């Protein structure tokens, strides 16, 4: 699913779903934004089925992006394994953090997640006990350590229960969120 662009990509979507064909929501979200010229989508499971991440290549992609989006389903309150592997390999000392590690300073990071439970479930006293933002704190902290700004996450709740109409609405909302970001960066 890797898309190739000829000009500088402003938005890099790091997509991590081990079974994308089984996810109508994630598929539709990506379809809704893949035609935006400033976006590049990298499907980690497609690109790295053996989990051997090409660190220099991935780092170069990050350098050219203004907004990095981690797009994935929420598995056991976290991301699929390949995204963690990608983070461990790519966001290394001297590149993303630590001495000389300023390559990501000033960039933005956003989480796009699909979850099975309802929004009501993700609150104090709900089934999942905490708001989704608390489960995403490691990504926010990663952004801080890398000198990035962490944006409000885009969350699709009840992903396997919502209607086709609701999925389409969420996809349009996702597209609009990205277009709003592009509009903001064009005016900076």
**Residue 9 confidence (pLDDT):** 59
Is pLDDT above 70 for 13? Answer: yes
Mean pLDDT, rounded, for 1-23: 74
pLDDT band at 187 (very low <50, low <70, confident <90, very high): low
pTM over 0.85: yes
CB atoms near residue 15 (< 10 Å)? 24
- Tokens matching residue 105: 């300073």
Q: State the pLDDT at residue 184.
A: 78
Question: Do 39 and 78 meet the contact criterion of CB atoms below 8 Å apart?
Answer: no
8 A C-beta contact, residue 40 and residue 3 = yes
pLDDT tens sequence across 31-62: 999 999 999 999 999 999 999 999 999 999 99
Residue whose C-alpha is closest to residue 156's, from 13, 23, 19, 16: 23
81-84 long-range Cβ contacts below 8 angstroms, 24+ apart: 81/51, 82/16, 82/18, 82/44, 82/45, 82/48, 82/51, 83/14, 83/16, 83/44
- For 64-96, the pLDDT digits (tens) are 999 999 999 998 888 999 999 999 999 999 999
pLDDT score of 23: 86
As a whole-number percent, the residues of the chain with pLDDT over 70 amount to 93
Strand partners, 108: 67, 149
Tally of CB atoms within 10 A around 2: 12
Rounded Cα–Cα distance for residues 140 and 111 (Å): 9
Topology of domain 11-186 in CATH is Rossmann fold (3.40.50)
> Domain-by-domain residue ranges, the chain?
11-186
């Amino acid at each position: 699913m890797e898309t190739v662009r000829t000009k500088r990509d402003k938005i890099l979507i790091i997509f991590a779903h081990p079974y994308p064909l089984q996810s109508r929501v994630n598929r539709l979200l990506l379809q809704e934004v893949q035609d935006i010229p400033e976006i590049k989508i990298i499907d980690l499971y497609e690109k790295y089925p053996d989990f051997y991440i090409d660190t220099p290549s991935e780092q170069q992609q990050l350098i050219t992006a203004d907004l990095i989006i981690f797009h994935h389903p929420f598995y056991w309150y976290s991301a699929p394994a390949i995204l963690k592997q990608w983070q461990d390999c790519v966001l290394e000392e001297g590149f993303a953090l630590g001495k000389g590690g300023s390559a990501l300073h000033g960039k933005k990071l956003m989480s796009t997640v699909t979850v099975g439970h309802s929004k009501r479930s993700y609150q104090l006293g709900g089934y999942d006990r905490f708001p989704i933002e608390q489960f995403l704190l490691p990504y926010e902290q990663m952004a801080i350590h890398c000198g990035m700004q962490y944006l409000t996450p885009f969350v699709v709740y009840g992903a396997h229960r919502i209607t086709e109409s609701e999925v389409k609405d969420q996809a349009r909302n996702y597209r609009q969120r990205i277009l709003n970001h592009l509009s903001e960066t064009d005016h900076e």
